[in-house]
Amino acid sequence: MSRVSASPEALSTPLKFAYWVPNVSGGLVVSTIEQRTGWDFEYNKKLARIAENSGFEYALTQTRYAASYGADKQHEATSFSLALLGATERLNVIAAVHPGMWHPGVLAKFIITADHLSGGRAAVNIVSGWLKDEFVNFGLDWLEHDERYVRTEEFIRVLRGLWTEKDYSQAGKYYNITDFTLSPAPLDIPGRPHPEIFFGGNSTAAQATAGRVADWYFSNGRTLEGYAENVDGVLAAAAAVGRTPRFGLNGFVIARDTEAEAKDTLREIVAKAHRPAVEGFAAAVKEAGASTKDGKGMWADSSYEDLIQYNDGFKTGLIGTPEQIAERIVEYKKIGVNLLLTGYLHFQEEVEAFGRDVLPIVRELEADLARKNGTELDTSQLPEVSTGSTTALGSTNDLTGSTSDLEGALA
């Protein structure tokens, strides 16, 4: 059993759950195994409603402009997120955006409008980029690894400044803002000073930047020991400037009736992996953590099998029975995780099953953990869960753009 390093406040706060919006084709694993997941809007609209009725509070869209590792069709993240916000009632939708592709003032304005249209549910995930061709072939500057984080930090400061201050000015290397007031401001939501700023990255530079400016630090899949290192790195940078960011972690979920079935499914994913695509991806991601001085960061220590789930989701080990997965998730809570970002083979079916079979066990274990550490789980913070059937939301057979797309892309 791992040490409990989470604060009493974190132990009394229920874990939050998010899912990856499948807004790119081909599913979340680079394998020809069947993936009953569509990338089109109708599929995603239904998925988002299932998710918010199943206890998920967040959805994360991906930003991708060009095919790679098989994601040959991609819907743009901010517009897709806005449409999902319009189709849901409670879900917070986090749009991934690249500094270097956007001006922070334009994004700040866009998100304010999305926030007003959705009753305060718009959020962003600031990603610094690893797919060099997207930048170079767009004619944009491709900055060296750590320099990308210098730009990202300035970008986030502008975003927050424009969301929270009037007559905002900021002079920097990449952005210069003079006496700017965005009106209207984002919605005034108690406990939320502005739309939430998530941040994805694993390297030393990413951790330091996240600690200084992000509300939420997001990591790729990690082992318990690996993630504890990330938490320490981010907290050290945050403490130096008196901040307390929260922590999100990616994990690919394979919940089955027996552990053997779950492991067989993982074996099948690996056996049916598309080796040239995975190897191509492995070459492209050398622009990430592996290109830094200390060689640490996203994908830097990933095996061929790990890369089949392109956000290292197998490393988190959410593979087994619902009980085993719930226990594992609570181990992550103990070391500081506040939010689990999840991916699946068959999103609509498995998001619903996760809410039904895994979440109730997580809540029981969280309550036990809180009591053992002299506090109580604050159940008033639990998201509303609908027990009604989701079949009324539409057909479950709407799988446009699923397995066949992946096969096409990998051909």
Q: Is 93 in the site for ligand FMN (CB under 6 A)?
A: no
Ramachandran area for residue 81 (φ above 0: left; ψ -120 to 50: alpha; else beta): alpha
Nearer to ligand FMN, 25 or 128 (CB): 128
Question: In this chain, which of 26, 99, 104, 200 binds ligand FMN, going by CB under 6 A?
Answer: 200
The reply to whether 78 sits near ligand FMN by the rule CB under 6 A is no
202 binds ligand FMN per the rule CB under 6 A:
yes
Phi, psi of 169 (to 5 degrees): -130, 145
Q: Which of 13, 44, 53, 219 binds ligand FMN (CB under 6 A)?
A: 219
Q: Smallest Cα–Cα separation from 229: which of 198, 200, 203?
A: 203
User: How big is the chain by its Cα radius of gyration, in Å?
Assistant: 20
Which residues 341-380 are close enough to bind ligand FMN by CB under 6 A? 341
Q: Which is nearer to ligand FMN, 63 or 81 (CB)?
A: 63
Stretch that binds ligand FMN, among 185-193, 218-226, 258-266, 383-391 (CB under 6 A): 218-226
Structure tokens at 232: 């320490």
From the number of C-beta atoms within 10 Å of its C-beta (0-12, 13-18, 19+), residue 191 rates as exposed
Whole-number minimum distance, CB 21 to ligand FMN, in Å? 10
Nearer to ligand FMN, 289 or 383 (CB): 289
Minimum Å gap between C-beta 127 and ligand FMN is 3
Per CB under 6 A, does 320 bind ligand FMN?
no
230 touches ligand FMN (CB under 6 A): no
Pick from 297, 313, 322, 401: which binds ligand FMN (CB under 6 A)? 297
User: HSE (CB half, 13 Å, CA atoms) of 323?
Assistant: 3
Count helices and strands in the chain by DSSP H and E runs: 15, 12
One of 25, 88, 118, 220 touching ligand FMN (CB under 6 A):
220
Instruction: Pick one of 62, 74, 92, 338: the residue that binds ligand FMN (CB under 6 A).
Output: 62
- 197 is a site residue for ligand FMN (CB under 6 A): no
Structure tokens belonging to residue 72: 């040959």
Site residues (CB under 6 A) for ligand FMN, limited to 35-54: none
Counting Cα atoms < 13 Å in the Cβ hemisphere of 239 gives 6
Residues 95-154 close enough to bind ligand FMN by CB under 6 A: 96, 125, 127-131
* Amino acid code (one letter) for 215: D
Provide the 8-state DSSP code for 197. Answer: E
Taking the complex as a whole, the smallest distance from the CB of residue 251 to ligand FMN amounts, in Å, to 11
Show the tokens assigned to 337.
């995780």
Dihedral sign (CA 191, 45, 72, 108): negative
* Interatomic CA distance for residues 380 and 80, integer angstroms: 31
- How many amino acids of this chain bind ligand FMN (CB under 6 A)? 24
Query: Using the rule CB under 6 A, is 68 a contact of ligand FMN?
Result: no
Per the structure block, which two tokens stand in for 190? 């108690």
With CB under 6 A as the contact rule, the residue among 91, 114, 206, 377 that binds ligand FMN is 206
CB of 71 to ligand FMN, least distance (A): 10
Residues 239-268 that bind ligand FMN (CB under 6 A): 250
338 binds ligand FMN, rule: CB under 6 A: no
59 binds ligand FMN (CB under 6 A): no
**Full DSSP string of 94-149:** EEEE-BTTB-HHHHHHHHHHHHHHHTS-EEEEEE----HHHHHHTT-----HHHHH
Binding-site member from 70, 104, 289, 343 for ligand FMN (CB under 6 A): 289
Listed residue (347, 338, 344, 259) closest to 309, CA to CA = 344
| DSSP string over 366-404 | HHHHHHHTT----GGGSPP---S-SGGG--TT--TTSHH
Which listed residue (99, 201, 313, 336) binds ligand FMN by CB under 6 A? Answer: 201
Integer angstrom CA distances of residue 154 from 113, 147, 162, 391: 22, 11, 12, 46
Interface with ligand FMN by CB under 6 A: which range of 28-36, 44-52, 154-162, 217-225? 217-225
Residue numbers of the site for ligand FMN (CB under 6 A)?
62-64, 96, 125, 127-131, 200-203, 206, 218-220, 250, 288-289, 297-298, 341
